[in-house]
């Protein structure tokens, strides 16, 4: 494809951003669908300047990642209802200078889970109380899942549990809880600290579904433990691809080429970008 005067610009803004696989994923999607657009990574702490830049330069859409997902909210013209309820934006759509914020992390996690498991009526413990746990907890609650939150810091864990109207379990007491689904939603075990894992093997039983939202490495120590115990495992790549697919749909109005996006990101992970 040729970059010319009609090429539209998209990107991701965050800090740090060096390891983001969003450019790989979205450029593959634009190329496969013959959309004349490019997607770049912008490493910045200046979210206010970034929003001015999006408007001034007519950047059509932006992914938003750590640490800007909440800070960006007051700078936007409008919030989608789901993003407002979750309190975090990971996607901006620029419609002729009018910026709307969305949250596609929640839908991404939901689709990744629904590919493998029927959710209605299941019990689920989410480990973590950060932005991702909040988005996942919110959407699972809306899909009939009976939820508990577990977290290192009791205060932020209890705050999230209160917000989601569910129970809180201290991390040290998680072995006393029975669950159908366990979702790990902290950075523990991410490359280069692959060997780390918050969950002891003994609590993982073969009836459980275990999802780790980390996708680098693709099979975390938690997922290795879960697989060896006979659990159904779900890696973080599905959530990443589906949140990106929803961004692509919001930006272009087209269905995303999900399998191509997944293939490109898997390839990039294999070669270690």
Q: Active site residue: 52, 55, 69, 141, which one?
A: 69
Pair 213, 132: CB distance under 8 Å: yes
Nearest to 212 by CA among 180, 234, 187: 234
Looking at the chain, how many residues does it have?
Answer: 273
Measured from the CB atom, the residue of 19 and 52 that comes closer to ligand NAP is 19
Rounded to whole angstroms, how far apart are CA atoms 266 and 27? 14
Measured from the CB atom, the residue of 190 and 258 that comes closer to ligand NAP is 190
| Distance of closest approach, residue 153 Cβ to ligand NAP, in angstroms | 3
Going 241 to 247 to 252 to 253, the CA torsion angle's sign is: positive
| Distance of closest approach, residue 3 Cβ to ligand NAP, in angstroms | 28
Rounded to whole angstroms, how far apart are CA atoms 272 and 149? 33
Measured from the CB atom, the residue of 44 and 95 that comes closer to ligand NAP is 44
Going 230 to 236 to 241 to 246, the CA torsion angle's sign is: positive
| Distance of closest approach, residue 52 Cβ to ligand NAP, in angstroms | 25
- To 10 degrees, the CA torsion angle through 151, 122, 199, 211? -100
Q: Is 141 a catalytic residue?
A: no
| Distance of closest approach, residue 82 Cβ to ligand NAP, in angstroms | 15
Q: Which two tokens stand for residue 34?
A: 């013959």
Rounded to whole angstroms, how far apart are CA atoms 22 and 40? 9
| Distance of closest approach, residue 184 Cβ to ligand NAP, in angstroms | 9
Q: Which two tokens stand for residue 160?
A: 């999230």
Rounded to whole angstroms, how far apart are CA atoms 269 and 84? 33
> For binding to ligand NAP (CB under 6 A), which residues are involved?
66, 105, 108, 128-133, 151-153, 156, 185-188, 190, 198, 213-215, 236, 239-240, 243
Which residues pair with residue 183 across a beta bridge? 126, 211
Closest CB to ligand NAP: residue number: 130
The catalytic residue positions are 69
């Amino acid at each position: 494809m040729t970059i010319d005067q009609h090429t539209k610009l998209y990107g991701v803004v965050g800090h740090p951003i060096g390891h983001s696989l969003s450019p790989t994923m979205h450029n593959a999607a634009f190329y496969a669908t013959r959309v004349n657009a490019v997607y770049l990574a912008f490493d910045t702490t200046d979210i206010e300047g970034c929003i001015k830049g999006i408007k001034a330069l007519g950047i059509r859409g932006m992914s938003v990642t750590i640490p800007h997902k909440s800070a960006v909210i007051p700078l936007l013209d409008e919030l989608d209802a789901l993003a407002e309820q979750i309190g975090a934006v990971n996607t901006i759509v620029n419609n002729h200078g009018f910026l709307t914020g969305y949250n596609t992390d929640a839908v991404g996690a939901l689709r990744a889970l629904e590919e493998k498991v029927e959710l209605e009526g299941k019990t689920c413990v989410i480990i973590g109380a950060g932005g991702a746990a909040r988005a996942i907890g919110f959407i699972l609650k809306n899909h009939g899942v009976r939820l508990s939150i577990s977290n290192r810091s009791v205060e932020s864990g209890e705050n999230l549990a209160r917000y989601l109207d569910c129970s809180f379990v201290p991390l040290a007491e998680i072995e006393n809880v029975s669950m159908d689904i366990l979702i790990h939603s902290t950075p523990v075990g991410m490359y280069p600290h692959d060997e780390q894992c918050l969950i002891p093997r003994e609590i993982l039983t073969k009836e459980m579904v275990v999802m780790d939202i980390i996708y680098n490495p693709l099979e975390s120590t938690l997922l290795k433990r879960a697989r060896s115990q006979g659990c159904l495992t779900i890696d973080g790549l599905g959530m990443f691809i589906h949140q990106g697919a929803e961004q692509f749909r919001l930006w272009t109005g087209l269905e995303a080429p999900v399998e191509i996006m997944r293939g490109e990101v898997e390839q990039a992970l294999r070669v270690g970008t």
